[in-house]
């Protein structure tokens, strides 16, 4: 993480990480988690907040309770220099659709569309070494942090009994409808998603600690978005920027990971050679290249690592890296409008697919398939695509799963893939 804190101090942890942070997590501290060791950034609760909510006619954005002019992305861009530290948070799929001029499902008035918190202090972990980071004038107080971190164990959460909101027969029909649209020339690939849900009266922090230890997500997070807890176990980079360099790492194509080296090697080879998976991935890759090309210097878009098979604890994926040089003067709002919502969770072409999904899916996606991560005052950013993501609120947990549908898709295989993807949180 390149977030340029004003102060950084070595900090001896009082107990095993990340169990010692449970009390802070329960209090709503934002946590960006990277990888199996618990590397990442744990911020203090508090700091300025920027939110956008659907008002019926449009999005109403507020910074610290004060109305902000412009669209949500424009308000976010204007807020960056107001605070010296990074902004951590998330934006919803539906807000991204509106900013990009794409069709989406209707929303109830008051629905939260984005929530960003400006960090003043944070605990940074890398390779097991902890540092206190501060963007304030004064350095952080290690004694205060020591008082907020506590030695203790984390009980294993109760198993989640997730149930899909629709049954296999309805999913088969939805897949076949997309295949018909593809055969008719309406679009090339569509990412169809299904919400799984369960009652949840447990501790989101405990669930996050257990899920992170098991799933080891490269782009994990636990965020408190004004009472909605967002638990992200994503492995997909939606968009990063460092100066003029911008890049994305779309994922399309998956097979189970069993733990048997021979079986998994054969599955990886089959995945890399599978005509259906390669065709689906190529279409999304072209879409992402086009999206970056809208805001890149002419001729700078390239695919530096095409269709690499990457293993995760329960699944293997095809991943590509697309990068470019940003056009001079490119601002945050224009960049986000060009790339969001991510091509791997919509399809191609985006407008036609989103119009179909707005009618076909069971409900609005919310923060699933939106964007999540950090944005620095300079405009540098690292945003994950919140797949494998749970939204916890009002005694209920909703966890979406989806897959790309092409003309070669087999409905039974697509249904099985949905359940495979729930294993990241159910174990």
Which amino acids are annotated catalytic?
A: 236, 252
Q: What is the CA radius of gyration of the chain?
A: 21
Q: How many CA atoms lie within 13 A of 70 on its CB side?
A: 12
Q: Hey, what are 284's tokens?
A: 């999304």
Determine the Cα–Cα distance for residues 21 and 15; give it in Å rounded to an integer.
9
Q: Is 46 exposed, middle or buried (0-12, 13-18, 19+ CB in 10 A)?
A: middle
CB 222 within 8 A of CB 234: no
């Amino acid at each position: 993480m390149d977030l340029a804190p004003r102060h950084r101090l070595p900090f001896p942890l009082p107990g095993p990480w990340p169990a010692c942070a449970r009390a802070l997590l329960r209090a709503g501290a934002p946590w960006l988690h990277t990888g199996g060791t618990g590397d990442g950034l744990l911020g203090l609760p508090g700091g300025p907040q920027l939110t956008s909510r659907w008002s019926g006619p449009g999005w109403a954005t507020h910074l610290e309770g004060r109305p902000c002019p412009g669209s949500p992305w424009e308000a976010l861009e204007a807020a960056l220099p107001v605070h010296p530290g990074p902004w951590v948070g998330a934006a919803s799929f539906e807000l991204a659709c509106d900013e990009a001029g794409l069709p989406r499902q209707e929303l109830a008035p008051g629905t939260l569309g984005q929530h960003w918190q400006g960090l003043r202090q944070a605990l940074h972990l890398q390779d097991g070494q902890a540092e206190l980071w501060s963007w304030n004038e004064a350095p952080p107080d290690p004694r205060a942090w020591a008082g907020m971190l506590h030695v203790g164990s984390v009980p294993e959460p109760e198993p989640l009994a997730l149930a899909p909101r629709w049954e296999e027969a309805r999913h088969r029909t939805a897949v076949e409808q997309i295949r018909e649209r593809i055969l008719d020339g309406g679009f090339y690939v569509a990412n169809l998603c299904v919400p799984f849900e369960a009652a949840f009266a447990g501790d989101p922090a405990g669930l996050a600690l257990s899920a992170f230890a098991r799933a080891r997500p490269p782009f994990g997070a636990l965020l408190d978005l004004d009472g909605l807890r967002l638990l992200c176990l994503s492995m997909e980079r939606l968009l990063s920027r460092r100066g003029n360099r911008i890049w994305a790492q779309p994922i399309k194509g998956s097979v189970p990971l069993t733990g048997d080296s021979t079986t998994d090697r054969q599955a990886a080879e089959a995945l890399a050679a599978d005509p259906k998976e390669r065709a689906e991935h190529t279409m999304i890759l072209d879409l992402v290249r086009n999206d970056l090309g809208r805001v890149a210097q002419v001729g700078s878009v390239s695919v530096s690592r095409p269709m690499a098979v990457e293993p995760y604890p329960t699944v293997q994926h095809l991943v590509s890296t697309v990068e470019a040089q940003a056009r001079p003067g490119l601002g945050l709002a224009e960049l986000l409008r060009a790339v969001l919502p991510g091509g791997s969770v919509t399809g191609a072409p985006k407008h036609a697919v989103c119009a179909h999904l707005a009618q076909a899916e069971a409900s609005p996606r919310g923060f699933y398939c939106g964007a999540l991560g950090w944005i620095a005052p300079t405009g540098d950013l690292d945003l994950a695509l919140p797949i494998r993501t749970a939204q916890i609120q009002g005694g209920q947990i909703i966890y979406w799963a989806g897959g790309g549908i092409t003309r070669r898709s087999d409905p039974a295989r697509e249904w099985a893939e949905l359940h495979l993807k729930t294993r990241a949180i159910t174990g």
